């Protein structure tokens, strides 16, 4: 790929975007026109008003094996990025689980995966970002310099300060295969102690886990290897999360390891009836993908067909509980107890994360750099007693996370009151960035977007 030519084409796309922005009425709200999304927040009508078409910003501009970096446009999906880096024996430092998560989305939001215990989150491997701000400026933000505050304040801003048009990120070397060991534990305290020890000793390249019940907790340790006696295939008829219970050891190609969760949206595809072999035979690999499931769910949210049928059959009302939270590892067993006893949702994904560089500060999502956290991912609908107010279980989760010194990602529904929200997500730092980079409030406010669902 010709790097210089690609950058020239990128600059032409930026010029057209600027021209498009100039056609909008002064002060008109601005949003991105996107074909895909991995957010689980409802949004009010009128999303298309003032929408900027960024559909062209989907190119991997360059992969440099010598410096182990990639130059990437903001709407590039991780699927496309991985396909560009693996032939060079490289991968992004953190590859979120779903193929159509975009690099820009993972950086302005948050991403996590089984390399996060050593590499942190996706924004921690970014060296430079070209950002279209709410004021219409296009700035290049780096860890130092004029726009360093925007660089560090961009994660967890969810497009309310600006949009990443181009990013330069670090890459790391891979080997052809990943050897997996699924180690069962029966006691939560021992389980999280073993997880912390695995993160400390550095023998594994990847660490995550799956909890199926109070005494069925699996720690999965992945290690790069040059050879595999045989490899498993979880892209069609076989289901990865079921294999965790059945196989103590497994081998996958690197690519299949990175996308092991995508085929069945972790385990959420079961709610759509596609985990039966005849259905999988009929659908084929092309339709067994998270972005296909997301479209089905989005259709149901708009039309509520299944919800109306369930009410007609007299089934109790259910609350969607779709959350990812980070809890300090020494409080993780307490959180799991609340989750199992009071929410009653399973399986639960477990993923350790530690800030990559202790001296760096990310003001809108502050973690203690000396602490190992455990990400709990839990996604489903839970029956609730009739008469409970909307969001009862989600509010319980939010309160528990705060009490245990954790943090909650904002990609899904949130129920905080405004004062609590800004206390947790550093309102003073956010307002300073908003005044500098979006003084006309053309982009939504973070609370309005993530809690009020505007």
pLDDT in tens, 245-283: 999 999 999 999 999 999 999 999 999 999 999 999 999
Residue pair 438/134 in contact (Cβ under 8 Å)? The answer is yes
Q: How far from the centroid of its chain's Cα atoms is residue 115's Cα?
A: 13
pLDDT digits (tens, 9 = 90+) for 289-332: 999 998 888 776 676 655 655 555 556 678 999 999 999 999 99
Same domain, 156 and 10: yes
3-state secondary structure of 324: strand
Q: Among 193-197, 228-232, 297-301, 398-402, where is mean pLDDT lowest?
A: 297-301
Q: Is 401 a member of any domain?
A: yes
pLDDT, mean of residues 105-134 = 97
**Helix 290-303 vs helix 305-312: crossing angle, to nearest 10:** 60
What are the counts of helices (DSSP H) followed by strands (DSSP E) for the chain? 16, 16
Give the residue from 153, 174, 195 where a domain finishes: 174
Q: Is 325 a member of any domain?
A: yes
141-146 LR contacts (CB < 8 Å, sep 24+): 143/360
Q: Is 61 a member of any domain?
A: yes
Taking the C-alpha atoms of residue 191 and residue 194, their distance in angstroms, rounded to an integer, is 5
CATH number at residue 404: 3.30.70.380
3-state secondary structure of 20: helix
Q: How many domains in the chain?
A: 2
Q: For position 42, what pLDDT does the model report?
A: 58
Residue pair 453/390 in contact (Cβ under 8 Å)? The answer is no
pLDDT digits (tens, 9 = 90+) for 406-442: 999 999 999 999 999 999 999 999 999 999 999 999 9
Q: Is 358 a member of any domain?
A: yes
Taking the C-alpha atoms of residue 204 and residue 224, their distance in angstroms, rounded to an integer, is 8
């Amino acid at each position: 790929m010709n790097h210089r030519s690609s950058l020239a084409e990128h600059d032409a796309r930026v010029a057209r975007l600027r021209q498009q922005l100039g056609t909008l009425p002064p002060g008109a709200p601005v949003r991105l026109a996107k074909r895909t999304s991995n957010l689980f927040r409802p949004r009010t009508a009128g999303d298309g008003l003032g929408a900027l078409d960024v559909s062209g910003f989907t190119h991997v501009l360059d992969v440099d094996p010598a410096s182990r970096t990639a130059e990437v446009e903001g709407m590039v999906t991780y699927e496309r990025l991985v396909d560009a880096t693996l032939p060079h024996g490289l991968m992004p430092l953190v590859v979120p689980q779903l193929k159509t998560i975009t690099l820009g989305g993972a950086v302005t939001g948050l991403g996590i995966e089984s390399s996060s215990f050593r590499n942190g989150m996706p924004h921690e491997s970014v060296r430079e970002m070209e950002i279209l701000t709410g004021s219409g400026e296009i700035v290049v933000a780096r860890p130092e310099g004029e726009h360093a505050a925007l660089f560090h304040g961009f994660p967890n801003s969810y497009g309310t300060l600006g949009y990443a048009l181009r990013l330069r990120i670090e890459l790391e070397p891979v080997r052809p295969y990943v050897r997996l060991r699924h180690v069962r534990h029966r006691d939560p305290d021992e389980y999280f102690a073993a997880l912390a020890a695995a993160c400390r000793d550095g023998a594994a390249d990847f660490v995550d886990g799956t909890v199926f019940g109070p005494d069925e907790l699996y720690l999965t340790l992945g290690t790069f290897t040059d050879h595999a006696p045989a490899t498993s295939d979880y892209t069609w008829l076989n289901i990865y999360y079921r294999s965790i219970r059945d196989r103590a050891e497994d081998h996958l190609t690197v690519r299949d390891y990175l996308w092991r969760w995508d085929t069945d949206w972790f385990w959420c595809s079961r709610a759509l009836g596609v985990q039966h072999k005849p259905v999988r035979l009929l659908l084929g690999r092309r339709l067994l993908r998270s972005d296909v499931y997301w479209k089905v769910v989005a259709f149901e949210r708009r039309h509520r067909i299944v919800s109306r049928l369930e009410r007609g059959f007299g089934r109790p009302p259910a609350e969607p509980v779709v959350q990812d939270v980070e809890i300090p590892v020494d409080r993780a067993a307490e959180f799991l107890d609340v989750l199992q006893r009071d929410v009653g949702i399973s399986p639960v994904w477990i993923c350790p994360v530690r800030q990559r560089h202790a001296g760096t500060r990310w003001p809108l999502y502050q973690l203690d750099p000396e602490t190992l956290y455990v990400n709990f991912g839990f996604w489903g609908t839970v029956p609730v007693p009739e008469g409970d107010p909307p969001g009862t279980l989600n509010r319980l989760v939010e309160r528990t996370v705060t009490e245990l010194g954790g943090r909650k990602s904002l990609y899904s529904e949130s129920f905080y009151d405004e004062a609590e929200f800004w206390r947790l997500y550093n309102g003073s730092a956010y307002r300073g960035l908003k005044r500098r980079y979006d003084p006309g409030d053309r982009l939504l406010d973070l609370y309005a977007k993530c809690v009020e669902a505007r």
